[in-house]
Amino acid sequence: MAIYLCHERPDLVDYETEVVDSRPGWVLLAEGALHPGGGGQPPDRATLEHRDGVSTVVDVAEEGGLFWYRLETADVLRGVVRVRIDEVSRFRVAQLHTATHILNALVFQRFDGALVTGVNIEASGAARMDFDLPGVDHTLLRGLDDDMNAAIRAGLDVRATYVPAESAATTPGLVRSRSVAPPPTPDGRLRVIEIAGLDRQACGGTHLTNTAQSAPVHVTKIDNKGRHNRRVRIALADAT
């Protein structure tokens, strides 16, 4: 789990920086403040203004610990560029990622520590989480809708801290995925997202700073995905 610039400076969404390297359709910047995605979260969207026009960033890829931005066209950039991160998209994803933590917390608490088996967040305003919940009544999962929104209305503070990676082995519930644990930072720490009084778990994504910043969230569908997995689909109210 890298410590991304967007973790340290979430307000850095419009800035100038130098092109370090470029090849057709790809660019490496001196300061890259886009979240690269991962863990079910899509990468940030952005445009790069340069001396020849404007290029749109459509993806982020890691090579040797460096984050290259893939462009929509085969532009080769040089010199100084102005980065404009899509704040609307980032905020929407942050709302959804925070909502998935609320959902995860409720499922973990009420269904005997059920673990996550998959997650996907869409920039359009919807997300899904898969849980290891064999035989659970779908009505009980749909009933989490009201409790999720109660947590949003409660205005719970959301903060990020770092703990030694070995804490994951001794702190129940710090890592909630059945198959994948977040990788530690180069100095052996895990980034932990805490929703005051509700949840605390390792995560490298982008989140709100208070749950009240989120639009209401609705459970839109429950699916059976195999014998064990139950897929809970949610959406922001302003996206449905």
CB count in 10 Å sphere of residue 115: 18
Tokens standing for residue 47? 């445009």
Residue scoring higher pLDDT (183 or 218):
218
Q: Are residues 150 and 168 in the same domain?
A: yes
Looking at 85, 117, 143, the residue that finishes a domain is 85
Range of the domain at 13: 5-85
Residues 151 and 167 in one domain: yes
Count of structural domains, the chain: 2
Domain containing 124 — which CATH number?
Answer: 3.30.980.10
Q: Mark whether 124 and 234 lie in a shared domain.
A: yes
DSSP secondary structure code for residue 178 in this structure: S
Residue 228, both tokens:
């064990």
Q: Say if residue 19 is in the same domain as residue 77.
A: yes
Under a CB-based contact definition with an 8 Å cutoff, are residues 54 and 82 in contact? no
pLDDT score at 68: 97
Residues 112 and 204 in one domain: yes
User: Of 85, 120, 152, which marks where a domain is finished?
Assistant: 85
Tokens encoding 71: 């462009």
At residue 65, the pLDDT reads 85
Q: What is the pLDDT of residues 213-238, one digit of tens each?
A: 999 999 999 999 888 899 999 999 98
Looking at residue 12, its pLDDT comes to 96
**What pLDDT does 177 receive?**
79
Encoded tokens for 32: 């890259």
**Residues 48 and 125 grouped into a single domain:** no
The whole-number pLDDT of residue 176 equals 81
* CATH number of 72's domain: 2.40.30.130
**More confident: 216 or 187:** 216
Q: What band does 145 get if pLDDT is binned at 50, 70 and 90?
A: very high
- Which of 31, 56, 85 terminates a domain? The answer is 85
204 shares a domain with 173: yes
Instruction: Dump pLDDT digits (tens) for 49-107.
Output: 999 999 999 999 999 889 999 999 999 999 999 999 999 999 999 999 999 999 999 99
